[in-house]
Structures are given as structure tokens and as C-alpha cells.
Amino acid sequence: MGTTAYHEHDDREKGDMMEPQVIPHAPDELVIHTKDLDAIKDKNYDVGAEYFAELAQRADAHEIMAPWTEAEEKSVLRKLDMIVLPLVTMSSMMGGIDKVILGTSASFGVRTDLHLVGQEYSWSSSIIFFGSILTEFLQSWLIQKLLTGKVFSFNVFMFGIMTFATMGVKNAGGLQAVRFILGMFEGMNTSGAGLVIGMWWKKEEQGVRTVIVLNTLSSVVNGLLSYAVQFYTPTAHLSRWQLLFLITACISVTFGILDWIFFPSNPTKAWWLTERQRYIAVARLTGVQTGMVNTHTKWNQVKEALLDVRTWLYFLISITLNIPNGGLSGFYSIVVANLHFSTKQLTLMNMPTGPIGWFAVFFWVWLAKQTRQPLLCAMGSVLVVLKVVPHSNIGGSLAGLYIVYMYWAPYMVYSQLMMYRNVGGTTKKVAVFGISYLGYAVGNLVGPQSFRAKEDPSVAQSSRPTPVISA
């Protein structure tokens, strides 16, 4: 007994099925493989189906494609978690660090050195997302059509190059131009991670990997680097903020190179797996009804994505929950400085924000199960701290600022986790992930503009959006 050939579930139309050939001894839950490789390619089947067909032509096909043991699958999963997961996680994290490093550099005189006045700093923080919006769908399309690993690694490499270029800017125009181009390469970060997770791990495995990949621990790395930079004595040729950009750029370039070497486009291309392990890595995903990857654009899936109400719910969630992110990324250091902490204290106090947001994801999952009202609970805590605690209470104000970072939890739980796990079909994933990221970019564009140069950054308009968004 067997099932039909492996392909994306969105396109199971009449006439798409072929006469299959059963591989002897294959377990019932596996697909029926076919030796008609040309027919599979003509019908735009999933990459997994093409791989199965190629294996079926080999003399040792029965040995490679024999049923596997639980121990074999665990061994494959362990390799994926030891190689792919760290690379994707660190690459995604570096995208976050390169993005928010401007906010940290504000403590080291970047606004003074570049003569930023009025809203120029706010727009320098926001403009990165104009670049992301411009290339988001193109980046997602390239990841689908070309070699996923190579596209991903090239973009990570360019994170570093553009961060390095920031060291040489002399004014607001130069800073904004470099930040815009940086955004063009970072457009693939979130949606690209979603496509990668879907092609390497089973549905029940994707949740925890998504939380790991899209973590907010970049603040810890950023804080440690910023603290270390303060022990450097600035010179006429290299200021502290320039050194911070230099170190971050080198790390991004390094991970871009590592991605190019070790990060394959999909499990069928993983050179660090044996042929048997590659087969298991692909075949164990045959029950995942979201597909592995298909390089062909299917316009019916684009239409389905546009007409699906959930697509636009993900879009709205991404906008509203990322307005705080946009403001805090660029202005956190300035806000805390107004609480009269030293620069060294400020950089260390930035470090807890990431772990708070990350651990809040796990907390909100538990809270949702217990009360079914997690959003109301979080909204209440934010309202109390921001509107009741007086500004003179430094400890309370700082605690309130930390609580604001819990916004990441509902964004992850109600947007990213649900979207990554439930959207099927590669083209539909590209469309839905792209629309969701568009919302992410819009929210981050709006956030910095809630901070006005003429106002005290720790009060007034800077605090207004957060309780509203939390609701």
C-alpha cells in the first residue's frame, strides 16, 4: 500500500497524477516513487519528488530507500540542529544587530559626528524598511527560484558589507543612503527564515525552531560589544561608534561565508549528510502538508494567498505589534539616557531587553492556555507602568520600559508561529510571508516617527503608541 507521488498539496488537480511505481519494502506512510523523472519535472512537482525519482534510477535504490529506524531519524535531526539551525539563527540575529546598531551608536556620538538635526535621526532609523519593502517580494522569489542557501548567504554577507560602509558616511544623506541599501538585503530575513524552517523540519518540530531562529537575543550581543567598545580610546581616524560598526560588519561577513560553505539549498543538497541520510531528511517530510520547496511559481497559489483572510490578519498583526519595535530599536539608548544612567550602565541595561522578549514568548504560550486572555493581561501591565509610575521613579520607569519588550511574544505566537506552520505551498508561502513582512516593515517605519526631536524622548509621544498597540 502507498500514497501518491510527493508534491505540494495546493495543486492536487485531476490529470496531475502519474502511474506510480512502488519501491519494495517502503513503509506505508511514504510516497510511491516513480522513475519517470522527466514527467515529474514537466508537472512541476516538489523538489522532493524529483529527488526520489533520481534515487529510484540508481542500482542501490532499494538499500538507500529502505525503511529507516527511529535512531537513524534522530541522527539526521541531530545533524540538522547542529549545522543548519545555528547558521540560520546567527544569520538572522546578525540581521537584527546590523539593523539596530544605529540606536546603540547614538550613545557614542553618531548624531553629533554626522550633524543630524530634527527628524534626520528618526528617518535614518526608519529608512532601512523602505529598502526592505522594495525588495521583499523579489528576495522571496529569488529564494524560491534559485539556490536557497546561496541567496541566503549572499544577503548575510552584504549585511556586513553595508554595515562596514556605514563607517565612512559623513552626513545624514550618506547615512540614509547606506541604511536604505542595507534594508534591500535584509528584506529576506524573516520570510527567508520561514521558508528554510519549512524545508528542513517537520511541522511538529517547527515551533521551537522558529522561536530559536527568530529570537531577540541580539540585544545581549549588541550590549556586550557596546560595553567592550567603551574601553577603546577614540582617535581622529576611528571613533567608538565606527569601531562598533566595524566589529559587527566583520561578524556578519564571517557568517555569510560560513553560510555559503555549510548551508545547502535544501536537504537533497546537504553535502555533510550521507545519501541515506539525505533520503531520510527528505522522506520524513512527506507527511508535512505544507510542502518542502517548489521552484515553480504557481499563480493560483498567489491568488489563494490574496483571498485568504488569514493573510491580512497576519499583515495587521505585524503592523500593530512592530510599531513599538521600530521606535525602541532606534531610540532605546536615548530613552534610557534620559533616566540619567552613564553610558556604560546604559549599554549593560540594554542587554535584558532581548531575553525578556524571548522568554515572554514561552510565558505567553502558557498564559494563553491558562486564561485565554493573554493580550488583556499584557495590556494592563503596560498601561499601569507607563501611565501610573511617575517619571521621577527611575526604577519603575526602567521596569516599564523592559515590560514593553514583551510585545515580541504576541507577534511570534499569533503571527509567525501560526503562519510558518499553517501555510502550505511554496508560492503561497512566498506571498503570505512577503505580505506579513510588509506589515512588519510598515510598523517599523511608523515607530521611529512617534519620537519627536523637540520632545523629551522618555515621555510624551514616545510613550503614546505602546499601550494602544498592546491592546
Q: What is the pLDDT of residues 201-213, one digit of tens each?
A: 988 888 788 888 8
Q: Which has more pLDDT, 424 or 134?
A: 134
pLDDT of residue 18: 36
The set of long-range contacts for 110-119, using a CB threshold of 8 Å and a minimum separation of 24, is 110/241, 113/239, 113/241, 114/169, 114/170, 114/171, 114/172, 114/174, 114/175, 115/171, 115/172, 116/172, 116/175, 117/172, 117/453, 118/453, 119/449, 119/452, 119/453
Q: At what angle do helices 172-186 and 128-145 cross, to 10 degrees?
A: 30
Exposure of 204 by Cβ count < 10 A (0-12 exposed, 13-18 middle, 19+ buried)? exposed
Q: Comparing C-alpha atoms, which of 378, 397, 281, 280 is closest to residue 337?
A: 397
pLDDT digits (tens, 9 = 90+) for 196-248: 888 899 888 887 888 888 888 888 888 889 889 988 998 888 999 999 999 99
> In whole angstroms, what is the distance from residue 386 CA to residue 62 CA?
65
Burial 126-150 (b: 16+ CB within 10 A, else e): bbbbbbbbebbbebbbbbbeebbbb
pLDDT of residue 459: 44
Q: Comparing C-alpha atoms, which of 228, 204, 187 is closest to residue 98?
A: 187
Least confident of 168-172, 218-222, 312-316, 375-379: 375-379
Q: Alpha-carbon torsion 444, 447, 452, 455, what sign?
A: negative
User: Which three three-digit cell numbers place residue 439?
Assistant: 506589515
What mean pLDDT do residues 33-43 have?
A: 46
Least confident of 29-38, 308-317, 357-366: 29-38
Of all residues in the chain, what percent carry a pLDDT higher than 90?
A: 18
Cα–Cα–Cα angle for 192, 195, 201, rounded to 5 degrees: 130
What mean pLDDT do residues 394-408 have?
A: 70
pLDDT of residue 163: 93
Residue 273 pLDDT grade (very low, low, confident, very high; cuts 50, 70, 90): very high
What mean pLDDT do residues 395-409 have?
A: 70
Q: Comparing C-alpha atoms, which of 176, 120, 174, 171 is closest to residue 452?
A: 120
Of all residues in the chain, what percent carry a pLDDT higher than 70?
A: 70
Res. 464: pLDDT tops 70: no
Rounded to 5 degrees, what are φ and ψ at 374?
-65, -35
Least confident of 14-18, 106-110, 405-409: 14-18
Q: In order of start, what are the domains of the chain with their CATH numbers?
A: 9-67 (no CATH), 71-286+295-470 (1.20.1250.20)
Res. 468: pLDDT tops 60: no
Q: Which has more pLDDT, 269 or 399?
A: 269
pLDDT of residue 113: 92
Q: Comparing C-alpha atoms, which of 304, 291, 338, 321 is closest to residue 451?
A: 338
Res. 31: pLDDT tops 70: no
pTM of the entire predicted model: 0.75
CB 419 within 8 A of CB 84: no
What mean pLDDT do residues 156-179 have?
A: 93
Which of 131-140, 185-194, 341-350 holds the top average pLDDT? 131-140
What mean pLDDT do residues 318-341 have?
A: 69
